[in-house]
Chains A and B, each alone.
Chain A
């Protein structure tokens, strides 16, 4: 079991700890409900140092990304980044990652549970093609904090005393605080405005304490992984190990917009083309649930005729929509919007209706 570098600080602040992707992490600090509304109304502060932080460099690093990612990096300006999938030869997702070109190399932020696999995958593919690259795992040397919420732009600008509100979405910049340098990026997994702060682990404790003070003085809230999962779920972002696996491809996730067909050959392209031609056998859909039971990962789904037709990948209660929602994979042809299905929960079945994803839309920011 791995521990966040600041786990002791989180526990001393009363965090309820739990396990996520083999990491001991804070699940909540106060109440998930309070943390949720902070992220929707002001801002929430997260320690997401569990995320994989790889740095790719060497003369063939761009060529390796062109081979392994299904989305192009060509043409993006310096400092910009992109979310993309690494695929296996069957088109299955090795991981969904953020890639930022930086100083003759590339930062690659991976899901926590997929980091080793991404690391090995890049090594293996580079080795087979005899590419000159170096993939360095910097996860344990670095921390990563995140702000999510409509006031996060104002908060991070005030904290670093520089106008970071003009940083473009999916961009990376630098900022200093207390004599140390940090990398700042602007992403979102909540459909709110969002920023990340990455730096040397030695600076993590003091920066976190400073952020806690700032957060409490500015109507923000420190948050745990419970609300993080709820925010990404409402936004219908896939989570590795639930929606994303090596047996799931981007078409099945409904993310064809993240495939650059015209970028040339990449690993998994032929399999995706074949699937596109034949049509997917399964598809990720969203459900509204009747009643008060939350369907959770693995719960089976059947159609109104009683035929098994899929399984749940994530379920949760939406505080803002005030209803139970779920995502899951359905087999063809059960996925029309509005169709009603039955989901098995312990000792009973609940009625579910297929609804469009995402559950929440992007806020204007």
Chain B
């Protein structure tokens, strides 16, 4: 199970990466392995204002459908439209080609409220 130590995480199993004053995020390796084969992603709209913890989309797999929750409060800058054609990128490369969304957070300080890798690993282990 891959959990890179240069990322932030949410309790809803999203990873968040700082890229200048923007953040890129997707679902974690743990989340994709729980979901199984992903076949569809419903994205938030580009330009949409979203609030931390708000449901802003879905990831549908063969097994189940899982909600996507905004990891931070801010504005959606871009979504990974490559997933429309190749949703399996989420399974194959959850931290790379399988990214989901690029956001402009309202406050750069909010990211400090997310989990670090140790806290996230602890969260996963507590749930198993």
Query: How far does the Cβ of A16 sit from chain B's closest Cβ, in whole Å?
Result: 7
Q: Of the candidates B33, B34, B37, B40, which one forms a contact with A33 in the assembled complex, judged by CB atoms under 8 Å apart?
A: B37
Query: How far does the Cβ of B13 sit from chain A's closest Cβ, in whole Å?
Result: 15
Interface centre among B60, B62, B63, B91, by most chain A C-beta atoms within 10 angstroms, is B62
Q: A32-B37, A292-B39 are in contact. Are A27 and B65 (CB under 8 A)?
A: no
A31 and B91 CA atoms in complex are apart in Å by: 9
Question: Which residues of chain A are within 8 angstroms of B60 by Cβ–Cβ distance?
Answer: 292-294
Whether B62 contacts A346 by the Cβ 8 Å rule is: no
Is residue A182 contacting chain B, with contact meaning CB distance below 8 A? no
A346 and B60 CA atoms in complex are apart in Å by: 11
A33 and B90 CA atoms in complex are apart in Å by: 14
Q: How large is the interface on B (under 10, 10 to 19, 20 to 34, 35 or more residues)?
A: 10 to 19
Query: How far does the Cβ of A69 sit from chain B's closest Cβ, in whole Å?
Result: 34
Is residue B58 contacting chain A, with contact meaning CB distance below 8 A? yes
Chain B window 39-67, contacts with chain A (Cβ cutoff 8 Å), 1 for yes, 0 for no? 11000000000000000001010110100
A296 and B66 CA atoms in complex are apart in Å by: 13
Q: Of the candidates B36, B58, B65, B88, which one forms a contact with A28 in the assembled complex, judged by CB atoms under 8 Å apart?
A: B36
Chain B window 86-100, contacts with chain A (Cβ cutoff 8 Å), 1 for yes, 0 for no? 001001000000000
Whether A292 contacts B40 by the Cβ 8 Å rule is: yes
Whether B62 contacts A16 by the Cβ 8 Å rule is: no
Question: Which residues of chain A are within 8 angstroms of B88 by Cβ–Cβ distance?
Answer: 33
Q: Which residue of B lies closest to A291 (CB)?
A: B40
Query: How far does the Cβ of A226 sit from chain B's closest Cβ, in whole Å?
Result: 6
Q: Which residue of A lies closest to B39 (CB)?
A: A317
Q: Which residue of A lies closest to B63 (CB)?
A: A226
Chain A window 21-44, contacts with chain B (Cβ cutoff 8 Å), 1 for yes, 0 for no? 000000110011100000000000
Question: Which residues of chain B are within 8 angstroms of A296 by Cβ–Cβ distance?
Answer: 65
Question: Which residues of chain B are within 8 angstroms of A226 by Cβ–Cβ distance?
Answer: 36, 62-63
Whether A294 contacts B33 by the Cβ 8 Å rule is: no
Is residue A316 contacting chain B, with contact meaning CB distance below 8 A? yes
Query: How far does the Cβ of A26 sit from chain B's closest Cβ, in whole Å?
Result: 12
Is residue A230 contacting chain B, with contact meaning CB distance below 8 A? yes
Query: How far does the Cβ of A245 sit from chain B's closest Cβ, in whole Å?
Result: 22
Whether A346 contacts B39 by the Cβ 8 Å rule is: no
Whether B65 contacts A294 by the Cβ 8 Å rule is: yes
A346 and B34 CA atoms in complex are apart in Å by: 21
Query: How far does the Cβ of A28 sit from chain B's closest Cβ, in whole Å?
Result: 6
Query: How far does the Cβ of B33 sit from chain A's closest Cβ, in whole Å?
Result: 7
Q: A16-B33, A16-B36, A28-B36 are in contact. Are A346 and B63 (CB under 8 A)?
A: no
26 intermolecular pairs with C-beta atoms under 8 Å apart: A16-B33, A16-B36, A27-B63, A31-B36, A31-B37, A31-B91, A32-B36, A32-B62, A32-B63, A33-B37, A33-B88, A226-B36, A226-B62, A226-B63, A292-B39, A292-B60, A293-B40, A293-B60, A293-B65, A294-B60, A294-B62, A294-B65, A316-B62, A317-B39, A317-B62, A346-B58
Residue numbers of B with Cβ under 8 A of A are 33-34, 36-37, 39-40, 58, 60, 62-63, 65, 88, 91
Residue numbers of A with Cβ under 8 A of B are 16, 18, 27-28, 31-33, 226, 230, 292-294, 296, 316-317, 346
A-B pairs with the 3 shortest C-beta distances? A292-B40, A32-B37, A317-B39
